Structure 1
């Protein structure tokens, strides 16, 4: 760790034995890249979206005019010159903004449309100490960061346990929202056994029939992006074109519809490929892509990033057929250290929920940084949510013939 680069920041303080440095511009990140990369590989809860090669392009292309603060939690070195400082934690924050239910400004973990985890990077085994240091930093900056919202954070695991323990030890007020879950896969010893538990015999037979029907139309081929010697640009262009061809293109939500989104995707995929952390699959018919998927690897985990399929062939379910091949490949990669894969899908996603047996529990935390006003609003927050829910149900019962202003005002 290059300590001099951090000592230039006025946010450097000692918190529970840790020094916390704050970086607010991309130009100042350079000196910490090596240690940040090492931390991403050593995190107890892997989060590929907070690795520097994935987060920095997002800050450059997707953050817009939003202000951010990158918190580096540093364990100081000892008197021995060889005992150098160690980066144990990384928390990327969006600077506080207003919230509909709260009069106080709320800071959030940085998240964009293609970021599916807000788990901070914390070195395995250091979770309790890092979480305590982070909470003490928030308290020291409680005027600037009165509240912190962690939306869809991991509900279980060492990070969540350390956060709850640190909140109790520091006597902080917080609200933990209702849990929900999304699909997760933990490959077993036998892929056919896994698919047999996930799908009924009738559905497996139907997928085999659809595969045969497709093969009757031409040469059906499965390709896997190889670690080297591939034309990555061709793979990425094909994926962007396939996604834009469907409903995402029509709704202007596809990667290719916004120049900034496409640049982000190309930079992140290129960086992941260079590190051996990109996996892409393609199901093609006579050389024409029918379905493609793109995943990021972060051993012992993996994250499903994007999937696209040709809607002209929707009756053959090419997306589902490719997902089945993905499950088979995951079982093969178990020997390479991939023990689980996060679907990154919405909790109600039908296909993922039907093919992936396991679930990742998520919840939302609202934390007070320690000020009296923030403590009060955290205590009142659940009642505000209930009141908002009641108001929405009341509006839903209003007759459709009422003018829109009446429905907004409650009649």
Structure 2
């Protein structure tokens, strides 16, 4: 592959120059984005919160002043630490290279393959053009391990979803009606799907995370409010999205009190649902279910093409909402050399231990 006229620098994302380069790359490649985690606002919010103190680098390919491909990576500053997709460990949402085409993905894969440090991308769409390109680029330079990762639940919407109940069985529709009757016992049910501006974002966000903290997630320690760094990340990320009118905060109120909430963004004609929560005081009427039904119908009526449920394909999602999911893979590289060998030994020991644990069970 000829690289003349191709500039392949690696920017430090902890500098203003790196952050500006990432924003410029987004303007060049926005039409190729398939995930909200590819937006520079996602990494910009991670940098001072969940990735504070880590090294952050933007691996990128630029040709004749035009960005062709970018990949934001992070690593701790410990010896032998490996590169990982920014946000992998901290948020565990799907991520991918942002590339103009397969040629650009190949050039970026070649750059990454020249790294002496191993790489892990914990949850990449199985359809990513970068996966086969990196496997090819690593030949003669190291080993590549690709294995299944948790898929991403999705619901394909069309006009019929304007009445979402019609997509469920008679038994489920009966459950929905029962939940609505029970909700009425708490007072009038009202729904809000807000597109907050930066000026009114904080009040809406505070109300949403207070609802989540009033549910089972606080006891489990997974509520946003339980982790100040995670709260700071989501506040920064979603507030940045509100500047472009992409943030969505939804509420179900019963008798004027907030019973359930959603935190989401909309990009590329898709509704990306990051967080849900409900107040357990209203649990007997399944407020989360009622809000989800309303959100699906609203999205379909506004022409949204897909409703993406971020996070894992948990059993409650498959049992009630959808069994359709985008398959994902986990990608690991082990360059020939001390760092790659150390990473391979550590991973091999971990996988062996897990297999033994399964056999013992």
In structure 2, how many angstroms separate the alpha carbons of the residues matched to 1:188 and 1:343? 17
Contact 1:296 1:304 in 2 (8 A): yes
- Which position in structure 2 is the counterpart of 1:10? none
2:9 alignment partner, one of 10, 17, 20: 20
- Which position in structure 1 is the counterpart of 2:35? 47
- Which position in structure 1 is the counterpart of 2:123? 152
The more displaced of 224-233 and 172-181 is 224-233
- Which position in structure 1 is the counterpart of 2:259? 290
- The runs of 5 or more residues in structure 2 that have no matched partner are none
- Which position in structure 2 is the counterpart of 1:131? 105
1:211 alignment partner, one of 177, 180, 189: 180
- Which position in structure 2 is the counterpart of 1:36? 25
Does 2:81 correspond to 1:109? no
| Alignment: residue pair count | 356
Q: Cα deviation per residue 1:149-168 (whole Å; 9 max; x = unaligned)? A: 11121112xxx244314523
Contact 2:96 2:124 in 1 (8 A): yes
Distance 1:17 1:368, change over 3 A: farther
In structure 2, how many angstroms separate the alpha carbons of the residues matched to 1:314 and 1:92? 41
1:168 alignment partner, one of 133, 136, 145: 136
How far apart are residue 327 of structure 1 and its match?
1.2
Contact 2:263 2:273 in 1 (8 A): yes
Contact 1:291 1:318 in 2 (8 A): yes
In structure 1, how many angstroms separate the alpha carbons of the residues matched to 2:110 and 2:136? 13
Contact 2:126 2:329 in 1 (8 A): yes
Pairing 1:271-310 to 2, within 5 Å after superposition: 271-310=240-279
- Which position in structure 1 is the counterpart of 2:72? 92
Does 2:345 correspond to 1:387? no
Higher alpha-carbon Rg: 1
Contact 1:366 1:378 in 2 (8 A): no
If the length of structure 2 is used for normalisation, what is the TM-score?
0.86
In structure 2, how many angstroms separate the alpha carbons of the residues matched to 1:251 and 1:180? 21
In structure 1, how many angstroms separate the alpha carbons of the residues matched to 2:343 and 2:90? 27
Contact 2:195 2:247 in 1 (8 A): no
1:232 alignment partner, one of 180, 201, 212: 201
Contact 2:75 2:81 in 1 (8 A): no
Contact 1:218 1:285 in 2 (8 A): yes
CA-based RMSD: 3.1
How far apart are residue 18 of structure 1 and its match?
4.3
Moved >6 Å (runs of 4+): 372-383
- Which position in structure 2 is the counterpart of 1:65? 53
- Which position in structure 1 is the counterpart of 2:299? 330
Q: Cα deviation per residue 1:290-337 (whole Å; 9 max; x = unaligned)? A: 001011111133321111101111111000111111111221232xxx
In structure 2, how many angstroms separate the alpha carbons of the residues matched to 1:303 and 1:132? 28
In structure 2, how many angstroms separate the alpha carbons of the residues matched to 1:229 and 1:182? 29
1:202 alignment partner, one of 171, 176, 195: 171
- Which position in structure 2 is the counterpart of 1:118? 95
How far apart are residue 132 of structure 1 and its match?
1.9
If the length of structure 1 is used for normalisation, what is the TM-score?
0.76
